[in-house]
Structure 1
Amino acid sequence: MVNRLEQEIGNYQQRRDAMLGGLEAYRGWLDRYADMDAEQTLRLYDLADTLKQDRLVLAFVAEFSRGKSELINALFFADLKQRLLPSDAGRTTMCPTEIYHDAASKPYVRLLPIETRLRDESIATLKRLPIEWSTISLDPSNAMQMGAALRSLAEVKRVPVAEARAMGLCEQNDAELARTSAVDGKVEVPAWRYAQINFPHPLLKGGLTILDTPGLNALGSEPELTLNAIPNAHGVLFLLATDAGVTRSDLDIWENTVYRRVHHHIVVLNKIDMLWDELKTEAEINATIQRQMAQTAEQLRIPLHQVFAVSAQKALVGKIREDQALLDRSGIAALEGLLADKIIPSRQEMLHQSVNREVLSMLEASRDGVKSRLESIKSDAEQLSGFTGKNREVVTKLRDKLVIEKRSYDAVALNFKITRTLVQQQGRALLAELSADVLNGMLEKSRAHLDESWTTVGLTRGMNHLFGRINAQFAKVDAAAANILALLDSAYLRFQEQHGFPQLNPPRLDMDRHRQRLTNLAQSTEIFCRDPLNLMLEKRFMVSKFYQSLVAEARTVFEMARMEADAWLRRTLDPLVTRIRDHKTQLELRVDNIRKVHDNLDNLQTKVAELKQQFGDLGKQYQEINIILESFARQGGGAAPASSAPALRIVQAVA
């Protein structure tokens, strides 16, 4: 049974592959018809690599024993006819778990030892250090081996209380700690800090990545999850138990991890089968479920349509046994429908827009350059055809006119070289404001505020100082970008007025999304520092961990801003440079053509035939580039690219 969710993930992969095909087609077009510089080649390869590595991330967040693993099994892996993730009473997943497919490696479970919490490296850093992980090979054809390997996710170990405290996994005044450590002075902690599962499932091959998070304690002890992994997921499913409703710990996770932190969050009331009472009618049972959904929506302050009631366990059984009645009663179809209709298309649109920002200006510049050459050759062919029977003086006048036009253009182009050099200098200065050295200097100063006091007060002071300095740098970048645009607008206006260039509207650099991310980090800092436990206790370990995670996120924001500014400089300057170069080539070709006619009037018909041949070749180039542009427009659901019809009419008229 192929459901809508599976179909939409398949469509997501097809659209991504179509964009990759479009990039490859454009690169081939440039290889055949244009002088592609090394930087342009590198940009296209980088874009293709970004698309290949893109993943659709869905995060599952809840307190322990809410059925996250079973819901993941039901939604994505029922076709295996068994549970991929272990699911049983009590805690089945003790560490955050990431499930994906890496075609470059054989299937595996990678486990990061809990002792790495004693060090300063983030999980993101440790992901790049394979030596730090324990790896277990997976055999997808061997159910017993798979089950044994995945049960490692639930492993725990006993460590001395002092070591558990050093890892930030227990508090000094914890009554439960005192009871469990009374015998041997040790306490139980998760054996692993993080797990990665590389599994060759069709949905995972299609780009899906699943993040399973194990309860309040794990979320609180790994700020990296709450600051980065969960907010950056493309959809977050927050699970509750239908029979328990919203507990205090559920509400803590919701307020501190999900609410206002993520764009697409869905609340799932799981285990509705516990309300299936044989002494009640179906209508009475449904009324109870609807009442629970309404109360949940009210408590969590979200619309009712974002709350779903399901039985993950019955949905899994229904899919495995192909029991449609049980599957319908489980309520899983409505949840699958929302993921298919909202979350996945939203990610697809984001991906398309990010690629289009980079490649569309390049495509349009290439197309418009061919269009301009088509119009010029059409004009030249018409003029030369009209010279039949005329004397050399007429041809001489046209030649001289073109030579004068070329000299005038060369003068404007030479002047632009000065502007281009100035723009490049200002561009380097702009990027310098976002350099790693600048950020490191700011981080040192913010750290100085914390070295005085590793408390929530010191954390607030240090992070407010850092975020303020970063926003000040963004303001400098805004001013520099405005100056660069003014220079380019002035230069382009000269080409437009003197040589008939079409209107060009260079994009503005928009730093707002990076500012918003800083605002979100500031809010996260405030939430952490308002927590009563953090106010009452110094908690140097947790303050330090939270600071490290904040700094890692701030560094990511800063680096993303720099990459966006760098890409913006290219998008702003490259189309103009391409137009200027193409127009120069076009003028040189026209002058050369008319000179040959002037030197040999008897060869006039041959030259007209050559122009028509050139026109035919350019028409082929134009049609190819326009097809590539239209394919990108279709992927985004947009209309055909502007200005295609006039050029096609030119091709038809002369051909």
Structure 2
Amino acid sequence: MRSSMTIVHAPQSDIKMIPSPILTQVESFQHWKNDIIRDIARYRAWLRDNVIYDQRVDKELQLIQARLRDKTLSIAFVGEFSRGKSELINALLFPQSEQRLLPSTLGRTTMCPTELIYEQCSEPYLKLLPIETRQEALPLKHLKQQEDRWLHIPLDINDSKELQNTLSHIGDTKKITVEEAELLGFDCQFLESSSDAHVYVPTWRHALINIDHPLLRQGIRILDTPGLNALGCEPDLTFNLLPDCQAIVFLLNVDSGVTATDMQIWRDHIGQLQDRSATNLFAILNKIDLLWDDFADDEEIKQSVKKMKTLTAQQLNLEESAIFTLSAKQGLHARIKGDEDLLKKSNIAQFETLMFESLIDKKEQSLRKNAIEKTIFLLGNTKATLQAQLKQLEADNRSVIAMLNQGHGEMKSIAQQAKRDQVVYQNQIIALKASKQAIAKQVNTLLLSVNQDHFSTYLETTRTNFKESWSSIGIRESIAHFFTCLESDFTHLEIETNTTIKIVWSIYDKVLANSKLTHNANDDNHPDNTDSNIDKNIDRNIDRNIDRNIGNTIDSNIDNDINNNWDSHSSEQEHDLDLVQPTEFRIFEFNHSLAGLKTKATQYQKSFRSLLSGQRKSTHHFFNSVAAEAQQIHQAAHVEAKAWADGLLIPLIQHATSRKLLLDQKVKVFKALAETNKSQRQKQQELVQFQASIQLQFEDINLMIQSVSQKRPQQSFYESLKLKSTPISSEPQVY
């Protein structure tokens, strides 16, 4: 069976096309991200130019830039058949494409989940995945990497008739037996039946449409889903596709509201995502044009729609500000005809703008947490270093200028003191590098908590239990045990994280204490302030520091040091390094993700009879999707834990290295002034110039922090509506 489709093009006349603001919104967001990427590039260059380069810091900054370059913004349109999902997508895309892209006629035109994407290096295509792949163990994410499993059809976007014929394939169905349909995970009560006791199922499991469209080019990915009849038991949709979206739009008919099948889709595929801070949920009461009546009272209709919105919000547990009334059909027609009054009456433009702005807002929140805050943290370390150096330099310059004014002119002694200060920071660098050995063993224990070998063992054990289980109860117990094992891993990860933090603070405090001892030793052991004696003592102190730190930071008494330093760490430190601290490891985010997945899995098991009855293929398909998502969380925790552990000492190493380099400059300047025959005024000017050069570096870093911290420009009316903080009226006028 094939569905028909008509490609509607904009009329070739003097009708003025009505532009959509959403492309401007997305482009503005990408510009904001590009500005931050350039700021990070400036920071990386600054570190190299000022000889404060650290490979680990640079690698972290490159990863942050990669996160910012990811342009993906995903939107899913979900609902029963004939709710207007495809027509709403057509209305969103029409202003830039000037044609109706998706099949949109009466009946069931979309029979499989369909993604609209843009791949820069690929010609336009339609790719279709056979429905039979549901019987296999591989999840959709893996199948997307196997080109030979898909039917690949090139798209000719310049031939509307050919485009029509090709895209209509997403509505293909095939006739099979009831038994075969159940093996594929379908609930046959929702399928269309034939006269010979067969049923019709979708021919394809998934469709990918790659097309060059301005919105898609900006990273927008659109997911169009079929109705309940075509979904069946498709855990990839629930556990992978929908959770990856920043916005989910649930479509309903305004005249019927939330029906029983609507509620089943919401409960099985969407409702459990309400606790996810990364996903916006919207509900659309579509087809308000059915209420337009010249003989009806406008106020009466408005109150009726308002009641429907309130009821829908209660049924779906959403804020009323997330419920919109519109007409996708009339919005599309308004854009085709260039009718601004009809466009306003359809309410579609306001929904688009608010939906995209909140979508972008969610993405921005994620980037701030995972990219921008980390950049500001690294910039803050550099700023703290320069701030401490400026403070010391100002004090030194005041002393030198005072001596010059008194006629002492003992610049050489000041240079020698600066050279002794170099020992402090050189020793810190050496001690910190040696201290890596103290945490290496603990880091290995930490990473072992979320080792992928553990996950593989849990996976194989669960699959073995499946084979030995002959009831749905046994299957449920196997899945519950799988999650118990993962929760145990994350509990151990949390314990080892806390232990690691204690060790790190012990190392911080030990290094600082050693530096103070070294500084005091320099004061006591340098009666003769000659360069040769200073150099000898530098070498001697470095050797002593290496022996002390390599031996002591990993000795048998480290546990006592850990506890003592941890208990006293909250007290105020007497050194400038209290401005620098190790990064935070957000383990609670992984615990939250795992708990959410467990909840979804539990709810999903209750939703489908094929799982309850213990059908092997459906159950394995379900578990494979759950396991793929669980593995992603488990791997992400391991990767994040390793990155966190690798960077624990970076703040101190970066700080000590930069202070050492700045002191090198200071020694060079002061020695040059001590050996020159310049006047006191000239010497004072050179000191001021040196201080000014450090001040310029400080101001440059400060400007970078301000630039990276800048808020993204938003639509002025969106700001006034305050979608994030207070409920809003999404209904300018209802006719």
Q: Would the TM-score normalized by the shorter structure come out above 0.5?
A: yes
Q: Hey, what does 2:449 align to over in structure 1? A: 433
Aligned: 1:189 with 2:205: no
Q: Answer yes or no: is the 8 Å Cα contact 2:190–2:229 preserved in 1.
A: no
Matches within 5 A, 1:568-587: 568-587=644-663
> What amino acid does structure 1 have at the position aligned with 2:502?
A
Q: Hey, what does 1:479 align to over in structure 2? A: 495
After superposition, the Cα gap between the structure-2 partners of 1:490 and 1:190, relative to the gap in structure 1 and judged at 3 Å, is: same
Q: Answer yes or no: is the 8 Å Cα contact 1:78–1:316 preserved in 2.
A: no
> What amino acid does structure 1 have at the position aligned with 2:264?
D
Q: Which stretch shifts more, 147-156 or 308-317?
A: 147-156
Matches within 5 A, 1:73-152: 73-152=90-169
Where 1:579 maps in the other structure, the secondary structure is helix
Alpha-carbon distance in 2 for matches of 1:207, 1:112: 23
Q: Over residues 245-280 of structure 1, what are the superposed CA-to-partner deviations in whole Å (9 max), with x where a residue is unaligned?
A: 322211101111112323421111112222333442
Where 2:273 maps in the other structure, the secondary structure is coil
1:87 Cα shift? 0.2
1:541 Cα shift? 1.8
Aligned: 1:66 with 2:83: yes
Q: Hey, what does 2:24 align to over in structure 1? A: 7
Alpha-carbon distance in 1 for matches of 2:132, 2:70: 30
Q: Over residues 141-160 of structure 1, what are the superposed CA-to-partner deviations in whole Å (9 max), with x where a residue is unaligned?
A: 44333323322211223456
Q: Hey, what does 2:435 align to over in structure 1? A: 419
Q: Hey, what does 1:492 align to over in structure 2? A: 508
1:251 to 263, 273, 282: 263
Q: Hey, what does 1:33 align to over in structure 2? A: 50
Q: Hey, what does 1:651 align to over in structure 2? A: none
Q: Over residues 21-45 of structure 1, what are the superposed CA-to-partner deviations in whole Å (9 max), with x where a residue is unaligned?
A: 2222223323433353444333333
CA RMSD of aligned residues (A): 3.1
After superposition, the Cα gap between the structure-2 partners of 1:232 and 1:456, relative to the gap in structure 1 and judged at 3 Å, is: farther
Where 2:153 maps in the other structure, the secondary structure is strand
Q: Answer yes or no: is the 8 Å Cα contact 1:376–1:586 preserved in 2.
A: no
Alpha-carbon distance in 2 for matches of 1:300, 1:20: 39
Q: Which stretch shifts more, 427-436 or 307-316?
A: 427-436
> What amino acid does structure 1 have at the position aligned with 2:64?
L
Alpha-carbon distance in 1 for matches of 2:190, 2:647: 60
Q: Hey, what does 1:508 align to over in structure 2? A: 584
Where 2:282 maps in the other structure, the secondary structure is strand
Q: Over residues 529-573 of structure 1, what are the superposed CA-to-partner deviations in whole Å (9 max), with x where a residue is unaligned?
A: 323724752222221111001100110111121222233334532
1:343 Cα shift? 3.0
Alpha-carbon distance in 2 for matches of 1:333, 1:90: 26
Q: Which stretch shifts more, 463-472 or 610-619?
A: 610-619
1:439 Cα shift? 1.6
Q: Answer yes or no: is the 8 Å Cα contact 2:268–2:607 preserved in 1.
A: no
Where 2:40 maps in the other structure, the secondary structure is helix
Q: Hey, what does 1:351 align to over in structure 2? A: 367
Where 1:358 maps in the other structure, the secondary structure is helix
Q: Answer yes or no: is the 8 Å Cα contact 1:97–1:197 preserved in 2.
A: yes
Alpha-carbon distance in 2 for matches of 1:175, 1:318: 35
Where 2:620 maps in the other structure, the secondary structure is helix
Where 1:77 maps in the other structure, the secondary structure is helix
Q: Answer yes or no: is the 8 Å Cα contact 1:518–1:557 preserved in 2.
A: yes
Q: Hey, what does 1:627 align to over in structure 2? A: 703
Q: Hey, what does 2:614 align to over in structure 1? A: 538
Q: Which stretch shifts more, 155-164 or 89-98?
A: 155-164
1:599 Cα shift? 5.6
Q: Hey, what does 1:228 align to over in structure 2? A: 240
Q: Unaligned 5+ residue runs, structure 1?
A: 638-655
1:165 Cα shift? 4.6
> What amino acid does structure 2 have at the position aligned with 1:250?
D
After superposition, the Cα gap between the structure-2 partners of 1:63 and 1:401, relative to the gap in structure 1 and judged at 3 Å, is: same
After superposition, the Cα gap between the structure-2 partners of 1:528 and 1:175, relative to the gap in structure 1 and judged at 3 Å, is: closer
Q: Over residues 50-72 of structure 1, what are the superposed CA-to-partner deviations in whole Å (9 max), with x where a residue is unaligned?
A: 22223111111111111100011
Where 2:221 maps in the other structure, the secondary structure is strand
After superposition, the Cα gap between the structure-2 partners of 1:409 and 1:629, relative to the gap in structure 1 and judged at 3 Å, is: closer
Where 1:105 maps in the other structure, the secondary structure is coil
Q: Answer yes or no: is the 8 Å Cα contact 1:277–1:285 preserved in 2.
A: no
Alpha-carbon distance in 2 for matches of 1:190, 1:176: 10
Q: Answer yes or no: is the 8 Å Cα contact 1:111–1:195 preserved in 2.
A: yes
Q: Which has the higher contact order (CA 8 A, sep 6+)?
A: 2
Q: Hey, what does 2:640 align to over in structure 1? A: 564
After superposition, the Cα gap between the structure-2 partners of 1:604 and 1:164, relative to the gap in structure 1 and judged at 3 Å, is: farther
Q: Hey, what does 1:202 align to over in structure 2? A: 214
Alpha-carbon distance in 1 for matches of 2:467, 2:408: 86
After superposition, the Cα gap between the structure-2 partners of 1:283 and 1:473, relative to the gap in structure 1 and judged at 3 Å, is: same
Q: Hey, what does 1:239 align to over in structure 2? A: 251
> What amino acid does structure 2 have at the position aligned with 1:487?
I
> What amino acid does structure 1 have at the position aligned with 2:617?
F
> What amino acid does structure 1 have at the position aligned with 2:79?
A
Aligned: 1:215 with 2:227: yes
Alpha-carbon distance in 2 for matches of 1:566, 1:616: 40
Alpha-carbon distance in 2 for matches of 1:395, 1:79: 71
Where 2:232 maps in the other structure, the secondary structure is helix
Q: Answer yes or no: is the 8 Å Cα contact 1:59–1:210 preserved in 2.
A: yes
Where 1:110 maps in the other structure, the secondary structure is strand
Q: Unaligned 5+ residue runs, structure 2?
A: 1-17, 513-571, 714-735
Alpha-carbon distance in 2 for matches of 1:287, 1:589: 75
Aligned residues: 633
Where 1:473 maps in the other structure, the secondary structure is helix
1:331 to 342, 347, 369: 347
1:230 Cα shift? 1.1
Alpha-carbon distance in 2 for matches of 1:447, 1:612: 73
Q: Hey, what does 1:549 align to over in structure 2? A: 625
Q: Which stretch shifts more, 155-164 or 626-635?
A: 155-164
> What amino acid does structure 2 have at the position aligned with 1:242?
V
Q: Answer yes or no: is the 8 Å Cα contact 1:392–1:598 preserved in 2.
A: no
After superposition, the Cα gap between the structure-2 partners of 1:240 and 1:393, relative to the gap in structure 1 and judged at 3 Å, is: closer
Alpha-carbon distance in 2 for matches of 1:344, 1:405: 50
Q: Over residues 388-432 of structure 1, what are the superposed CA-to-partner deviations in whole Å (9 max), with x where a residue is unaligned?
A: 488999455445544544445544544433333322442233223
> What amino acid does structure 1 have at the position aligned with 2:123?
K
Q: Which stretch shifts more, 470-479 or 385-394?
A: 385-394
User: TM-score normalised to the size of structure 1?
Assistant: 0.87
Q: Answer yes or no: is the 8 Å Cα contact 2:326–2:346 preserved in 1.
A: yes
Q: Which stretch shifts more, 546-555 or 588-597?
A: 588-597
Q: Which stretch shifts more, 371-380 or 571-580?
A: 371-380
Q: Answer yes or no: is the 8 Å Cα contact 1:155–1:190 preserved in 2.
A: yes
1:582 Cα shift? 1.4
Alpha-carbon distance in 2 for matches of 1:80, 1:600: 73
Q: Answer yes or no: is the 8 Å Cα contact 2:286–2:325 preserved in 1.
A: yes
